[in-house]
Structure 1
Amino acid sequence: MEARAIARSVGMSPRKMRMVVDLIRGRSVNEAYSILKFSKKAATTPIEKTLRSAVANATQKAEKTGSFVDVDDLVVKQAYVDEGRTLKRFSPRAMGRATPILKRTSHVTIVVDRADHKE
């Protein structure tokens, strides 16, 4: 049973988030949790939150259909990061000039599925 979770407008650049998402793609959910727990990257916090939401969505979806899903059987089927809206700010510089600062945001999508349905 496939379930997804999307975190929109996370205040971190997609390049930094993709480094962490690449570590968990294709792994079991428990293995992904342990990788995120012991990684030093700041991007692990919103990615772990999105992963927990996807697992919760899978259990809720299973309850609605009257079936049972075990968290140990779930696998991260898809995990990707898209670029969100860029906030444009300006910082004062010498001689009255201004320099643009681009505050990039990300959209994180995580899809979990049962291990036997993995392609």
Structure 2
Amino acid sequence: MPYTNTHRGARISPTKARLVADLIRGKSVDDALVTLMMSKKRAAVFMKNALNAAVANADQAEANTRSLRVSEARVDEGPTMKRFQPKDRGRAHPIMKRTCHITISVDEA
């Protein structure tokens, strides 16, 4: 039975977060945490928090936390905040502030 956690509305673009999700998918939880701690990517902080919460969910259900693996690491697109940057001669350029939903599932190996 997979134990899942979702971080909704993370303020990072889904494209950048998917690069980090690809790093940890299929690894054991200990290896994934080490990988996230050593990563320089900003999305690694969001992933680490979501992974720790998924492990806590498994611990709450009295699963064996030593044999957990990351069975699913998915990043979906969230709502986009639309802003405008004023430019010369009355123009405005759009700024898309993208968000994402990070879903991490861990399962016993």
Aligned-residue sequence identity (percent) comes to 49
Q: TM-score with structure 2 length normalisation?
A: 0.97
Q: CA RMSD in A?
A: 0.7
Specify the code of the residue in structure 2 equivalent to 1:109.
T
Q: Distance in 1 between matches of 2:2 and 2:58?
A: 7
Specify the code of the residue in structure 2 equivalent to 1:30.
D
| Aligned residue in 1 for 2:3 | 3
Specify the code of the residue in structure 2 equivalent to 1:104.
R
CA shift digits 1:12-71 (9 cap, x unpaired): 000000000000000000000000000110110011000000000011122xxxxxx232
| Aligned residue in 2 for 1:45 | 45
Q: Distance in 2 between matches of 1:72 and 1:36?
A: 18
| Aligned residue in 2 for 1:91 | 85
Q: TM-score with structure 1 length normalisation?
A: 0.89
Structure 1: runs of 5 or more not aligned? 63-68
Structure 2: runs of 5 or more not aligned? none
Specify the code of the residue in structure 2 equivalent to 1:99.
H
Q: Secondary structure at the match of 1:100?
A: strand
Corresponding pairs, count = 109
Matches within 5 A, 1:79-118: 79-115=73-109
